[in-house]
Amino acid sequence: MVVQLENVSLKRDGKWILQDINWKIQKGENWALFGLNGSGKTAILNLLNAYNFPTKGKIAILGMEFGKTYLGEKLRKRIGFVSSSLQERFYPGDNAFEVVLSGAFASIGLYEKPTDQIRSKAVSLLQNLGCMEYANRNYETLSQGEKQRVLIARALMPDPSLLILDEPTNGLDFIARERLLESIDRMAKSPGAPTLIYVTHHVEEILPVFNKTLLLKEGQVFSKGNTKTMIASEQLSSYFDLPVQVFWENNRPMLSKLQTIEQ
């Protein structure tokens, strides 16, 4: 079991942010975590990364149970985390190659001398994710899509067992989004790829490799299961409290609001 949340609730400032979350992820599954803004997605990610602990319930990540095992850096080194919030933390002057190398040491900035093996691995990841042409450019000068691909390569450096992609296409135009999604698809299908959690509020980003989906609404699990069942017209109409229709093309869903006749 990669992820196990049992009756997990989180309370902050007297308010329940999450309530009774039950979620299990087994090896071989890749999940989309779908929720609107304010649904509690960030709160769940903070729990998975052991930045917060639940008010109630049981959490075990990669066999390590909260409260029974020392977590912190030990757990985070086994989890790759990609979020646009990381982009502002890197030092001006660091190039893309250095940012990727830093992933081997779980550090912001490069303070240790990388071995030839680490350098070779970084080059391989940059090649696989289509980043080599700008490997020597300063990270801060890269486009949003280029930065995200570099962050994915960085997250893969320590061979994580779990990779969390937190709304990685935010701020990207259509072409940049599709290029990034192609990179994610190739990475997910590569031998030895980690278990993936893809966090989004756009159904059209849910690739075929994400065979499971959890719908999160107002801090609770609305529903979870096979993606084709979750991302369906009737299910999402109930989720949104709005009549919508889901179209599938090339194994990708698209969402449209149904027109209603005003009385």
Mean pLDDT across 135-162: 92
**Digit-coded pLDDT (tens) for 155-190:** 999 899 999 999 999 989 999 999 999 999 999 998
Mean pLDDT across 227-254: 96
Q: In the prediction, which pLDDT does 198 show?
A: 98
Over 90: is that where the pLDDT of 3 sits? yes
**Digit-coded pLDDT (tens) for 65-122:** 887 666 666 777 789 999 877 777 787 788 999 999 988 877 766 667 888 999 999 9
Supply the DSSP string of the chain, one letter for each residue.
--EEEEEEEEEETTEEEEEEEEEEE-TT--EEEEE-TTSSHHHHHHHHTTSS--SEEEEEETTEEBTTB--THHHHTTEEEEEGGGGGGSPTT-BHHHHHHHGGGT-SS--SPPPHHHHHHHHHHHHHTT-GGGTTSBGGGS-HHHHHHHHHHHHHTT--SEEEEESTTTT--HHHHHHHHHHHHHHHHSTTPPEEEEEES-GGG--TT--EEEEEETTEEEEEEEHHHHSSHHHHHHHHTS-EEEEEETTEEEEEEPP----
Q: In the prediction, which pLDDT does 92 show?
A: 77
Q: In the prediction, which pLDDT does 263 show?
A: 45
Q: In the prediction, which pLDDT does 18 show?
A: 97
Q: In the prediction, which pLDDT does 93 show?
A: 86
- Predicted TM-score (pTM) of the model is 0.92
